[in-house]
Amino acid sequence: MVSEHSDATDDETSPLALKILVAGGFGVGKTTMVGAVSEIRPLRTEELLSEAGQLVDDTDGVDQKVTTTVAMDFGRITIRSGLSLYLFGTPGQDRFWFLWDELSQGALGAVVLADTRRLEDCFPAVDYFEHRHIPFVVAVNCFAGARAYGAQDVSRALDLDQGTPVVLCDARNRDSGKEVLIRLVEYAGRMHTARLLDSVS
């Protein structure tokens, strides 16, 4: 005999939390993006730039920057009911890259922020995610006064794999950042589904 009261109904869904990395070069806007989209007070691990750091940190083009992330940024955003993203902003300088392996464990995908004035700074992040087969989108942070480039121009300059999304954004704007994250979740979902199908075919 079937009970009239089931422990679960078809329309019930478990909350889903996905881990997303926000990566890129020094001073590209990672902390800004995490802070702009986060619905909770973001965790930041920033320290003041010091004279000692001038020997290893290239601040050309970001002369106004006075702090730097030394571990990670953390924030959370709800995309829709039952779906939240946990955002981990990675440190940009070479000497902190050893943290990336820990931060990338279990990540659905990544946003690689790019600054067209220092486009070469995002090459290491692109290489990192490509070699580890972690889906990513490139988000061009459109700084005031910087020369404007189209998505196709940036894709060619970075020699991205065909199909890797490139989007233009303003890291300071919540709606703009949210659109980037939605694009990443959709793209990563397609990539993971395709890999799953390949593994069972």
Amino acid identity of residue 168, one-letter, is L
* pTM of the complete model: 0.80
Q: Confidence class of residue 198 from pLDDT cuts 50, 70 and 90?
A: confident
Mean pLDDT of the chain: 84
Per the model's pLDDT, the better-predicted residue between 84 and 64 turns out to be: 84
Q: Give yes or no for residue 35 having a pLDDT over 70.
A: yes
Distance of alpha carbon 121 from alpha carbon 200, whole angstroms: 38
Note the pLDDT tens digit of each residue in 117-166.
Answer: 999 999 999 999 999 999 999 999 998 888 889 999 999 999 999 999 99
Residue 58 confidence (pLDDT) = 54
Residue 10 confidence (pLDDT) = 44
